Structure 1
Amino acid sequence: MTERLSDEQSAPGRGRLLVVVAVAAEAEAVLRGLAGPAPGAVDRLPLPGGELHRVTHPSGVTADVLAGGVGPAAAAAATATALAAHRYDVVVSAGIGGGFAPLAPVGATVLAAAIVAADLGAQTPDGFADVTELGFGTVRHTPAPAAVALAADALGAVTGTVLTVSTVTGSAERAAALTARHPDAVAEAMEGFGVAEAAARHGVPAFELRTVSNPVGPRDRAAWRIGEALAALERAFAALPRPEFLKEARRG
């Protein structure tokens, strides 16, 4: 349906979640997971530049899913637009991504203990310096640890730093440089920091969830397991949206 429902009409009182993905295939996987074994109607809500897909999880949590585009700028703009239009308790940046072996193998589910902009900064004669080191802002958002731990236990997920990059890693040299700078990195993707920046400006807690489709390193499309990663994403969102997770997230 295309009729716009108000937040009051659609909220069952168990919490409201915004899930921001990059592309339609990820949104479809998330929606399949959220709908549960007896999928109901998905409401389509217009939004400038796109639309939200609203569904109620069997736990009673209402979730809006938004395909916001690829990269941190598109993700930030889409997230900010949704947050300006509707009220949410929690925002989750989600989708498939690359995993740092051996911590996050293909098929693994990853939750960010920290969301870090890995290439936001400047090259200097002494190497890369991020904008925090340069004195211009932050490159890190830290989701509520108790909520991360609760979700990781429910999902059997790996936790660690998830890197946001504007250029996906395609060589062993770049992978080594990233792990040297971020030894606790478990995955890389392209949207998490943008989502977290928008959420922070609206005072809404942000999280990042990734399922691993390929190892971070030399670009080998034959080794990608996109279908496996999308299936893992669906399973994750069948289990994640519990009221207790939203409660811990809001508590900080």
Structure 2
Amino acid sequence: AAGVGPAAAAAATAAALAARPYALAVSAGIAGGFAPRAPIGSLVVAERIVAADLGAETPEGFQDVTELGFGTVRHTPPPAAVRLAVRALEAASGAVLTVSTVTGSAGRAQELTVRHPDAVAEAMEGFGVAEAAARFAVPVFEIRAVSNAVGPRDRAAWRIGEALGALERAFRALPYRALLQEVRHG
């Protein structure tokens, strides 16, 4: 609903949060999964929402904006809510990486895996939603359904319809009252 990418997600989330109060901001959609932790068709819940490519390339390698002293690249959803959702959905959990450019090569996938060994998925909006939510002091939560593997770009292998179906089933299965209780009291 917000559009593609972290900037569009941040702007739309900030507009929604400014219009009325919310108990929780949720980033949801499809993602690339890091095999074998998150195969195509599986669900993932973010333990951490990480801006994976926000920083600078240096002679020593990539440095994120936190290392450069310019801000944060990580938001942490409420741990009790994450555990509840993981159990209810039988989902994988770990870092969900937000990228501005989707990975399309084995080399880039390997680079991300080395820098973020607990990554389960990459998507394009979570960090934008998390940044906006943080400005409004609203907890954030991210859930993704895996439509493709992170790595060499192979559109024939994408399963967008299946991933959207898995996401729809996940939203029917989430225990909303318990989730919100965990957010408020956890």
TM over 0.5: yes
* Number of the residue aligned with 2:37: 103
Q: 1:186 and 2:120 equivalent?
A: yes
**Whole-Å separation in 1 of the counterparts to 2:184 and 2:102:** 32
Equivalent of residue 12 in structure 2, options 49, 71, 78: 78
Q: Which runs of 5+ in 2 are unaligned?
A: none
Q: Deviations over 1:166-201 (max 9, x none)?
A: 000000000000000000000000000000000011
**Whole-Å separation in 2 of the counterparts to 1:222 and 1:244:** 39
Q: Deviations over 1:214-250 (max 9, x none)?
A: 0000000000011110100000100125111011112
The two structures have a TM-score, normalised by structure 1, of: 0.73
- Relative to total residues, which structure has the larger helix share, 1 or 2? 2
User: Which residue type is aligned with residue 104 of structure 1?
Assistant: A
* Number of the residue aligned with 2:49: 115
**Whole-Å separation in 1 of the counterparts to 2:184 and 2:99:** 27
Q: 1:139 and 2:66 equivalent?
A: no
Equivalent of residue 132 in structure 2, options 198, 208, 213: 198
Equivalent of residue 102 in structure 2, options 154, 164, 168: 168
Give the 3-state SS of the residue equivalent to 2:3 in structure 1: coil
**Whole-Å separation in 2 of the counterparts to 1:246 and 1:239:** 14
* Number of the residue aligned with 1:220: 154
Alpha-carbon contact 1:90-1:250 (below 8 Å) kept? no
Give the 3-state SS of the residue equivalent to 1:143 in structure 2: coil
Q: Deviations over 1:192-215 (max 9, x none)?
A: 000000001101100110000000
Runs of 4 or more above 3 Å deviation: none
C-alpha RMSD of the superposition: 0.7
**Whole-Å separation in 2 of the counterparts to 1:190 and 1:173:** 19
Alpha-carbon contact 2:88-2:175 (below 8 Å) kept? no
Give the 3-state SS of the residue equivalent to 1:207 in structure 2: strand
The two structures have a TM-score, normalised by structure 2, of: 0.99
Q: Percent identity?
A: 76
Give the 3-state SS of the residue equivalent to 2:44 in structure 1: strand
Q: What number of residue pairs does the alignment pair up?
A: 186
Higher relative contact order (CA 8 A, sep 6+): 2
**Whole-Å separation in 2 of the counterparts to 1:209 and 1:76:** 16
